[in-house]
Amino acid sequence: MILCIDILTPEELALINAKLKDAEFIDGKLTAGWHAKEVKNNTQISGKSAITQDLRSIVEQALQRNQLFQAAVHPKAIRPVLFSCYESGMYYGYHIDNALMGTPSMRSDVSLTLFLNPPDTYEGGELVIETSLGEQAFKLAAGSAIAYPSTTLHRVEVVKTGIRLAAVTWIQSFIRDPGEREILFELNTVKQVMYEKYGKTPEFDLVCKSHANLLRKWVEV
């Protein structure tokens, strides 16, 4: 399942962009796996910089409070967010994200890109994901994120003019299997809608039971 979610408030977005203006960006190859290095051509803020800590906590809090993100992704662990900048001519070619990240290692189940500047201020820079229906390209509004399975090949189209600012991270889910995550997400959506329309009916209770019991069956704790 590929899902686009509004994450940041206008205030958070403005704060992030103000902080990014003072940030120093370094070569993005430093955080890429050995084969992704070959096709990664962007810049990132160093994880050690003081600005990074402030920026990370804004994004992490926004992800924690977002009900749609929580219901779709079931996050168990989230990697420290990386802030990247693609200037004109920069790109990230096709690659697969590392399955294991960090120490102690976590598994990457879901990859997430949060777009930080308006799409009409740069040409190119789409996130292109290879899906069973062919390539799908995404270039979202500032403050919106796309969450997609880490099992997919994906790339960032060359930026032709302007700059592309984004935050990226990876999530280990309590639900490892993307198909199971999708079923739980849909059942949860049905639960919400049924409750809003009809209240706590016996049918609603049955859907709650199926949702809770499937979660119990599939969850990894």
Ligand X SMILES: O=C(O)CCC(=O)C(=O)O
Residues lying near Fe ion in the complex (CB under 5 A) are found at 97
Beta-bridge mates of residue 146? 4, 113
156, burial (CB in 10 Å: exposed 0-12, middle 13-18, buried 19+): buried
Q: Which is nearer to Fe ion, 90 or 187 (CB)?
A: 90
**d(Cα 220, Cα 55) in Å, to the nearest integer?**
30
122 binds, among ligand X, Fe ion, none (CB under 5 to 8 A by kind): none
Q: Which is nearer to Fe ion, 173 or 188 (CB)?
A: 173
The residues, ordered by sequence, that sit 6+ positions from 212 with a Cβ below 8 Å of its Cβ are none
Residue 164 annotated as binding? yes
Residue 97 annotated as binding? yes
**d(Cα 60, Cα 58) in Å, to the nearest integer?**
6
140 binds, among Fe ion, ligand X, none (CB under 5 to 8 A by kind): none
74 binds, among Fe ion, ligand X, none (CB under 5 to 8 A by kind): none
The continuous run of DSSP H or E covering 171 comes out as strand 164-173
Residue nearest to ligand X (CB): 113
Residue 193, SS3 per DSSP? helix
185 binds, among ligand X, Fe ion, none (CB under 5 to 8 A by kind): none
Q: What residue ranges bind ligand X (CB under 6 A)? A: 84, 92, 97, 113, 127, 154, 156, 166, 168
**Binding-site annotation, residues for Fe cation:** 95, 97, 154
